[in-house]
Amino acid sequence: MALPESFLQQLKLSCDIESVISSYVTVKRQGRNRACLCPFHSEKTPSMVIYNDTQSFYCFGCGAGGDVITFIMKIENLDYIEAVRFLADRAGMQMPETGVDDSAAKLKMRILEMNREAARFFHRCLISPAGQAGMAYFKKRQLTDETIKKFGLGYAPDSWDALRKHLRAKGYSDEELYKAFLVSRSQKGHYFDIYRNRVMFPILDLRGNVIAFGGRVLDDSKPKYLNSGDTPAFKKTNQLFCLNFAKNECKGSLILAEGYMDVIAMYQAGFHNVVATLGTALTQEQARMISSYVDEVILSYDSDEAGQKATKRAVGLLSAAGVKARVLKIEGAKDPDEYIKKFGATRFKLLLDGSGSAADYELERLRQSYDLDSPSGQADYLRAAINGVLSSLATPVERDVYAGKLSRETGVARDTILAQVNAILAKKRRTKEKKEWQDIQSGRQYYADRVNPQKALNKREAIAEERIIAFLYKDNGFSDYILDKISPDAFATDFNRRLFRIIAEKIQHNIALDSLSGELTPPEMAKLTGYLAQTAELQNIKDELDDDIDVLLRHKNRVTDDKIAEMGLQELSQLAKQLGSQKKRDHTKTF
């Protein structure tokens, strides 16, 4: 059963969409609407518009859109019922529980409860005699008791079922433990603990919930680190270790480290604006998350080859998210943890303050790969620097500065270097434009539409359908007119036909349209909001409507060769008269 219409209407009245969105991003006035940087893709110019009249949002850059519930679903990674509950809590409203299918929300809650209990179990094991090996490891890494407690560190016993038995005694089933990634299952169906003889690092979300774990072995077995897989409560590409602490300490910049121990060592040394990815390279989602907190990141990855590759990838993703990257150059140690132990926190602070830009880091790496004393080495270095570094810089000012630096290093005129850079940029633009044109000609861009793939083959009809749906949704006094003139069976695409039918039924039964997000998926809600956004500035609605309705009626009455073959003489005569009348109407419209 769906949530009561009255509750959803009251919820949306209490949760103004502009107020909700402005608690996540900076919102600015744009005419009678509001605009902001889209939190769902990387951009530097605001392309997300908030429409107060329809209480909806739409991003013209990535196509995200919907109502306030859809926004919370996307930005908080919640399902529909969880998002409604989130907004109800925000508004101080009581959530109606009767008849609500919240099985997914309940499972997520159970997983969070299991994780919290598992974290307590691991910590108790660590400080007990059974956790001697784990405690010895942390003490060897020079962690204090205060730090161990602060991060809730623990130890998983060297047992096949210690955690399983503990949680089963608390009332959790094997299937629930399996879905929480706390136990695994053999081919014969036997359940066993995933984490065994490992020191444990609980992973917390921004609200302090234990959402996952990372475990490190105490011997030479593989894998060295074992991280939770994705669960209903956790998606590793969307989370950062220690962000729950760092978000209040960042002061304009974050330190991005490679692993749990680097983060904990830096935090213990007094650097509280430090985070790490969770067993994966930096992702677009994580880069966008970082951009909502800071404008600058100091990359503090290991100095080995893998660390250098991760640094290069992170620089590109952070730049795309509008975040400036600096790179920490660690000498005399393999990682920040070892550096702090050898040289102390004060020296590490000087190292952070002296970290260079990402461009400086890349040029230094290239410089070490070529013999700059030879003409051929200089030419190869210049070519690599222009192609790999200067042509990827975002602004003309940056390109000018580094062209001057290269000029001083090599003796080649700055204008010559800039001319090469500009030629590469022009070639990239031409390549991009050519690909876009090829996509337009081939129709590939339309096949990317997973919500309404039939639009590719029915473009004219689909556009007419979209505008009719938008006019029907907004009403403007035309709903009766539309429903009298057109019916769902005139629609050419299945998605638009279903959407028209849903909206029409709600209007005919005097049901508010506020509850659509409960019947449509987030991508479908985004599609509907896109229709509303595209028609927001249209004038002469009656004329537009008549044209769009005419397009669909023609499509509906279109006669195929197969239909003609099946017609008798009387039907053919009638068809000829209809086509003649239509031709006269078209001729009259032209003049």
Residue 486, Cβ neighbours under 10 Å: how many? 23
Q: Which residue has the tokens 């006669």?
A: 559
Q: Is 118 helix (H, G, I), strand (E, B) or coil?
A: helix
Mean of pLDDT values over 523-551: 84
Residue 497, Cβ neighbours under 10 Å: how many? 18
- Separation CA 540–CA 574 (nearest Å): 35
Does position 567 have pLDDT exceeding 80, yes or no? no
pLDDT grade, residue 476 (50/70/90)? low
**pLDDT score at 76:** 85
- 136 neighbors 148 (Cβ within 8 angstroms): no
Helices 336-353 and 260-268 pack at an angle, to 10 degrees, of 60
**pLDDT score at 322:** 82
Residue 76, token pair as written in the block: 């908080």
Mind giving me the DSSP string for 518-570? GTS-HHHHHHHHHHHHHTTT---HHHHHHHHHHHHHHHHH---HHHHHH--HH
Q: Which residue has the tokens 């503090």?
A: 300
- Tens of pLDDT, residues 279-294: 778 988 898 888 878 8
**pLDDT score at 584:** 53
pTM of the complete model: 0.67
Does position 446 have pLDDT exceeding 70, yes or no? no
Q: Who wins on pLDDT, 121 or 93?
A: 121
Range of lowest pLDDT (130-134, 477-481, 514-518): 514-518
For residue 278, the one-letter residue type is L
- Tens of pLDDT, residues 61-102: 888 999 999 999 988 888 888 889 899 999 899 888 655 556
Q: Is 310 helix (H, G, I), strand (E, B) or coil?
A: helix
Q: What percent of the chain has pLDDT over 90?
A: 40
**pLDDT score at 443:** 47
- Tens of pLDDT, residues 12-54: 888 999 999 998 888 998 888 899 999 888 777 888 999 888 8
What are the start-end ranges of the H helices in 301-335? Answer: 305-320
For residue 488, the one-letter residue type is P
- Separation CA 416–CA 351 (nearest Å): 35
Mind giving me the DSSP string for 356-382? EEHHHHHHHHHHTTS-TTSHHHHHHHH
Does position 315 have pLDDT exceeding 90, yes or no? no
Cα distances (angstroms) measured from residue 172 to each of 108, 164, 169, 178, 424: 13, 9, 7, 10, 60
Burial of residue 579, with CB atoms counted within 10 A of its CB: 0-12 exposed, 13-18 middle, 19 or more buried: exposed
- 518 neighbors 42 (Cβ within 8 angstroms): no
